[in-house]
Amino acid sequence: MSPSNISVKLVRNVASGAPTLADFKIESTSVPTKESLQNDQILVRTLYLSVDPYMRGRLSGAQDSYVESFVAGKTLFGLGVGVIEASTSPDYKEGDIITGDTLKWECKFIANARGFTKIPASSGISPANYLGILGMPSFTAYVGVVSLAKAKAGETILISAASGAVGQVAIQLAKARGLCVIGAAGSDDKVEFVKSLGADAAFNYKTCGDLTAAIKKAAPNGVDIYFDNVGGEFLDAALANMNSFGRIAECGMISQYNATEETAYRVKNLIRVVPKRLSILGFIVSDYYAKPDYANFITEVSTMLKEGKIQYKLHEIVGLENGPQGLLDLFEGKNFGKLVVKVASDAQQRL
Ligand SMILES: NC(=O)c1ccc[n+]([C@@H]2O[C@H](COP(=O)([O-])OP(=O)(O)OC[C@H]3O[C@@H](n4cnc5c(N)ncnc54)[C@H](OP(=O)(O)O)[C@@H]3O)[C@@H](O)[C@H]2O)c1
């Protein structure tokens, strides 16, 4: 045992307001070895970890959430990709690459051999893609655009946080279905990227002035579908621009995740839901993995990938010790693309 394994632990739960680096602790721990494996366990070397907005909910300590909370003093966990270094399970062998949503924020760890998916050998796809274009955020875009909003050619869709992990796929799935796509993002570089993905119009919501007017200018015929990633003031402005029988795919409200009772934005235009006969379709992607939608998503996006018809931007930060800062950066828009932490130096290996 050598003391050079790194793990990221939570110091305290943060119920509301913005978390800070002081809420996390980087610890050096012993490197687990295969001699410590009990029956039906695996020794995993972490390659990539996913950094996602939903982790803010896990920091809160809430017991009534759809995801398990992080516990003060314990190691963080979440979506990731790792390689198996040793196994006492008949289902896994040394060298298998696995993905799952219970990877520890630790360079190496021992886990019970359950709840992981093997990534097919020789797929030619980089492991980080299983956290992005072939992973949870991309499927989230599919569920919102296809399964719930039932996007149809000729309609207009508005997408907030359009350059992000979910937004960039939502744009491309909507374009592939013949919609007019309007994207909003928080910097001019991001706006250019959104346009490069095929958006018909895009604007910087931080510099555009009046949000309702900016949406109206980009979508003069109104919005049929709003894919909401941010909530708050932008949701209000979108509500003011919705066409009759419009659908709001309510994916997330990141602008409110660090809000306090005092700073929470109170939506004013909800009254439009009745006269405009709007549907607000809140969803959690994990409810859809067991439905045919998931297989349809994999078929569609894998084909688009093979044919070079879909792009995906990853934002990679290097080193597990930088993971907490990455998580905080999400809430300030400092990521440009899907945020992942490259934990192992050889993580980019192609399969
Ligand atoms: N329902 C589900 O199952 C599900 C699954 C995955 C994700 N989500 C939700 O989808 C949304 C996007 O997630 P993602 O993984 O794709 O993240 P992301 O877009 O890659 O990163 C977050 C982005 O949100 C924007 N943002 C941050 N703070 C903001 C604020 N105060 N106001 C407006 N925008 C802000 C920033 O982009 P800008 O620079 O453009 O502002 C930032 O880059 C989140 O709300 C997340 O919770 C939901």
- Residue 323, pLDDT above cutoff 70: yes
Is residue 301 in some structural domain? no
The residue whose C-alpha atom lies closest to atom 12 belonging to ligand 1 is: 229
pLDDT of residue 346: 83
The residue whose C-alpha atom lies closest to atom 19 belonging to ligand 1 is: 164
pLDDT of residue 121: 74
Which residues form the domain of 182?
136-287
Q: Is the CB of 165 under 6 A from ligand 1?
A: yes
Is residue 334 in some structural domain? yes
CA distance 180 to 309: 18
- Enclosing H/E stretch for 169: helix 167-176
Per-residue pLDDT tens over the stretch 153-183? 999 999 999 999 999 999 999 999 999 999 9
State in Å: Cα 313 to ligand 1 middle. Answer: 14
Provide, rounded to the nearest whole percent, the portion of the chain with pLDDT above 70. Answer: 98
pLDDT of residue 337: 98
Q: Is the CB of 140 under 6 A from ligand 1?
A: yes
Domain final position from 287, 304, 323: 287
Which has the higher per-residue pLDDT, 232 or 4?
232
CB 160 within 8 A of CB 205: yes
Q: Across residues 133-158, what is the average pLDDT?
A: 98
Per-residue pLDDT tens over the stretch 115-128? 999 998 777 788 89
Residues 41, 168, single domain; the answer is no
State in Å: Cα 3 to ligand 1 middle. Answer: 36
Q: What is the CA radius of gyration of the chain?
A: 21
- Residue 2, pLDDT above cutoff 70: no
CA distance 44 to 93: 11
Domains in the chain, number: 2
Q: Is the CB of 330 under 6 A from ligand 1?
A: yes
* Cβ density class 115-124: b for 16+ within 10 Å, e for less: ebeebeeeee
CA distance 249 to 148: 7
The residue whose C-alpha atom lies closest to atom 5 belonging to ligand 1 is: 140
Q: Name the nearest CA neighbour of 215 among 196, 202, 230.
A: 202
Residues 97, 118, single domain; the answer is yes
Q: Is the CB of 265 under 6 A from ligand 1?
A: no
- Residue 43, pLDDT above cutoff 80: yes
Per-residue pLDDT tens over the stretch 240-280? 999 999 999 999 999 999 999 999 999 999 999 999 999 99
CB 46 within 8 A of CB 79: no
Q: Which CATH number characterizes residue 239's domain? A: 3.40.50.720
The residue whose C-alpha atom lies closest to atom 9 belonging to ligand 1 is: 252
Residues 192, 223, single domain; the answer is yes
Residues 234, 153, single domain; the answer is yes
CB 215 within 8 A of CB 182: yes
Name the band, by pLDDT with cuts 50, 70 and 90, for residue 342.
very high
Residues 176, 262, single domain; the answer is yes
pLDDT of residue 144: 98
- Enclosing H/E stretch for 326: helix 323-330
Ligand 1 atom nearest to 162, measured from its CA: 40
pLDDT of residue 1: 43
Q: Across residues 27-55, what is the average pLDDT?
A: 96
The residue whose C-alpha atom lies closest to atom 46 belonging to ligand 1 is: 252
